[in-house]
Structure formats: structure tokens, C-alpha cells
Amino acid sequence: MTEQHGDAPPDEYVEAEIQRMLAEDPAIAEQGITVVCLERGLVLYGEVESPHRREEILRRVAERFPRVPITSDIGVIRTQAPSQVEELP
Amino acid sequence: MIRIAAVGDVHMDEDVVGRFRPALDELPDCADVLLLAGDLTRHGSESEARCVAREFGNLGVPVISVLGNHEHQCDEVPQVVKVLEDVGITVLEGNGIVLECAGGRLGVAGAKGFGGGFAGRCASDFGEPEMKAFVQTTKDSADALGRALRGLECDVLVALTHYSPVPDTLAGEPLEIYPFLGCYQLGQAIDSAPTALALHGHAHHGSERGTTPGGVRVRNVAHPVIKQAYSIFHLGDHLDRG
């Protein structure tokens, strides 16, 4: 899923603030999302355990930084049974 | 042969309940035990622990877990442990357990572990009290894991932690945060015993395979790394040969 918001280029402090917010905001509490600062905005990538969490991340970040262009590339981790076994002789 | 299923960092809450269960229901056919490498919850609340209990309780195979850093966020560790233990999940912290499996005796020693960094790039027990307390936590956790590993009498010995004992399985994470993802002292503890396999989680962007300096195989089973409900490892072929 890819979404964009805002129009103001971010600086390093915004990048740092978003990274901390992802972990410290009780509604998010994600340490596995990476924030990458590109020329025209920030990209969030990583994987979460449910579509709801992905939506919540985007909603909270857009709410707090409405002018920062955010692109999201966050996936939902698959939960299928393994098809292979690792043999460790 | 002993069959071990393992996963970490499942970060359960109401929105995740049921996602793992279809795969977990297959466990009695393919594994002797399920090991959980910590970060079972989002914030470590009692209510999230109940979600873990619903998803990972009553699976038909023994379930053994360590806690992760997320289980400490709400300061409800005793309540979390009780909820898990009430559904038969064994929670290890500086101790171990031996299971009689069809293929032999499996010993599992576990501890959450802590950060600190790896040889040549690690925190030192020096300076401010806060820094000394940080490093002391690292040392205490690794010491407890080492004692637990060396104290188990079994055919196959497995170490279970949340933090990583080696940098190998962190490949993919930014180098700058390695000291927050694991420490070499855990590797030293693992190498102080005849450990066959070390399992950990925590590093969501890390990689699956590594080895301690002493040659023990290490696997990062964080859910975002393995991208399946759990991984399965077969160990102890020598036990079948008698």
C-alpha cells in the first residue's frame, strides 16, 4: 500500500521525532518501522501484524505532521504454516 | 530427532487474535515443542497477555517462552507471566526446563537478555551510574543464561533469548542500533555450554542465520524475519542412531 500526504520537505528532526513516535505512541508501539528521509518526503517501511496497525500508523503520523509528505510501504506479515523444515545435523 | 517450532515478536493484541491459529493447529503433527522468543505483546499489558494465551495456549504441544522488552512497557510483568502460566505456557528467565520428547530429552534455557553491543563496539562498565546499571543488566542476564544452560542434563540443549547473541543475525538492521539489539555476553554464555541451537527475536529487519564464535548455530525467529507463523528445526539426528 502506498499513500502520500502533505507538501513540506521534512528535516532530520522531523525524521527523528517520527521514529520515536512510532515506538512511544501507545497507539502505535512499533519499533520495527524504518523511517527513510528522501528529497521530497519520508518513506515508512517495515511490516506489522495487522492491517489495522498499518492504518493507525498512517493516521497518527499524518495527524501529527500534516504538512510532511509521507509515503508508506508497510506490509502485513504472513502467518501461514511453514512449507519447509531446517535440518540441523 | 527432536522437532522444534519457534517464533518471536508476534506482538499480540485483539486485532491479531486468530491470525496464527490455523498454522498453530498443525503443530502436534510437525513439532515436539513451540518456543516463543519474546515480544509476545505490544505493551506488556495483562489484557494483551490474555490474547497471547488465547492464541498460543492449549496447542497440543508444550509451549516455552521468554519475555521481550515490550512485555516490560506497562510494568505488568507478574500479571503477564501469570496469564501465560495459567494456560500452561512456561516462561523462562534465567532458568531452564527439560522436556521428555519422543526423540530424546530437550533442554531449553532462556532469558530475555539485553543490549550492550558486540566485541570491540560495546558498552563498558564505566562512568555514570546509568551506564554502569545498563552494562550490569547485560552482564546479569548473560550470567543467568549461562548458569541455566550449564545446569541442564539433556540430549539436545537449546538457548532461547529475545535479544541477539551475535551480530550475524542483525544484518539488515542499521549498524548504529546494534548495541540495542543484543550483546556478545549472551554469545559467551551460549558457548559456555554444549548448546546445539540458539534462538532469538527482537531484530525485525535482521536476517535468519548466524553462528557464535564457538560455532553454535543461531537463528533469528522474529516473525517479520521468518515471514511465516513459525519455523521448524530438526535437531539430534545422532539420537536416532543410538
pLDDT digits (tens, 9 = 90+) for B195-205: 999 999 999 99
Can you list the domains of chain B with their CATH numbers? Answer: 2-240 (3.60.21.10)
Cell numbers standing for residue A10: 521534512
Helix, strand or coil for residue B212?
A: coil
Which of A31, A53, A81 is facing B15, going by the closest CB pair?
Answer: A53
Residue burial B58-82, b: 16+ Cβ < 10 Å; e: rest:
ebebbbbbbbbbbbebbebbebbbe
* Chain A residues in contact with B195 (beta carbon < 8 A): none
**Which pLDDT belongs to residue B180?**
97
* Chain A residues in contact with B197 (beta carbon < 8 A): 88
How remote is the C-alpha of B61 from its chain's centroid? 17
**Residue B223 and residue B7 in contact, taking contact as beta carbons nearer than 8 Å:** yes
Identity of the amino acid at B55: E
Nearest-Cα distance to chain B for A5, in Å, is: 25
Instruction: Please name the CATH architecture into which domain A12-76 falls.
Output: 2-Layer Sandwich (3.30)
Which of B10, B228, B237 is facing A80, going by the closest CB pair?
Answer: B228
**Which pLDDT belongs to residue B241?**
66
Closest of B183, B131, B135 to residue B161, by C-alpha: B183
% of chain A at pLDDT higher than 70? 89
Q: B10, B25, B42: best mutation site toward chain A, by most A Cβ within 10 Å?
A: B42
pLDDT digits (tens, 9 = 90+) for B73-92: 999 999 999 999 999 999 99
pLDDT digits (tens, 9 = 90+) for A2-42: 444 555 556 778 888 999 999 999 999 998 899 988 877 88
Which of B197, B205, B219 is facing A34, going by the closest CB pair?
Answer: B205
Closest A-chain CA to B208? A86
d(CA B67, CA B85): 12
pLDDT at A56 over 70: yes
**Residue B8 and residue B36 in contact, taking contact as beta carbons nearer than 8 Å:** yes
CA distances from A42 to A5, A19, B84, B105, B123 (A): 10, 11, 39, 51, 31
Cell numbers standing for residue A18: 517520527
Strands B231-235 and A86-88: parallel
Strands B117-118 and B121-122: antiparallel
* Chain A residues in contact with B196 (beta carbon < 8 A): 88
DSSP-H helix ranges across chain A: 12-24, 51-64
Residue B173 sits at φ, ψ, to 5 deg, of: -85, 155
Give B104's Cβ-side CA count (13 Å radius): 21
Nearest-Cα distance to chain A for B66, in Å, is: 19
Q: Would you call B234 and A87 a contact, using CB atoms and an 8 Å cutoff?
A: yes
**Which pLDDT belongs to residue A2?**
45
Cell numbers standing for residue B130: 546509568
pLDDT digits (tens, 9 = 90+) for B111-127: 999 999 999 899 999 99
d(CA B4, CA B164): 19
d(CA B23, CA A78): 11
The per-residue pLDDT of chain B, averaged, comes to: 97
Which of B10, B23, B237 is facing A49, going by the closest CB pair?
Answer: B10
Q: Which long-range contacts (CB under 8 A, 24 or more apart) does B203-206 make?
A: B203/B164, B203/B169, B203/B170, B203/B172, B203/B173, B204/A31, B204/A32, B204/A46, B204/A47, B204/B9, B205/A32, B205/A34, B205/A46, B205/B172, B205/B173, B206/B164, B206/B169, B206/B170, B206/B171, B206/B172, B206/B173, B206/B181
% of chain B at pLDDT higher than 70? 99
Q: A56, A79, A85: best mutation site toward chain B, by most B Cβ within 10 Å?
A: A79
- Write out the residues of chain A at the interface with chain B, using a CB-CB cutoff of 8 A: 26, 29, 31-32, 34, 46-47, 49-50, 52-53, 77-82, 85-89
DSSP per-residue letters across B27-39? HHHH-SEEEEES-
d(CA B189, CA B42): 28
- Write out the residues of chain B at the interface with chain A, using a CB-CB cutoff of 8 A: 3, 9-12, 15-16, 19-20, 22-23, 26, 30, 42-43, 70, 73, 196-197, 204-205, 217, 219, 223-224, 226-235, 237
d(CA B167, CA B232): 22
Nearest-Cα distance to chain A for B123, in Å, is: 21
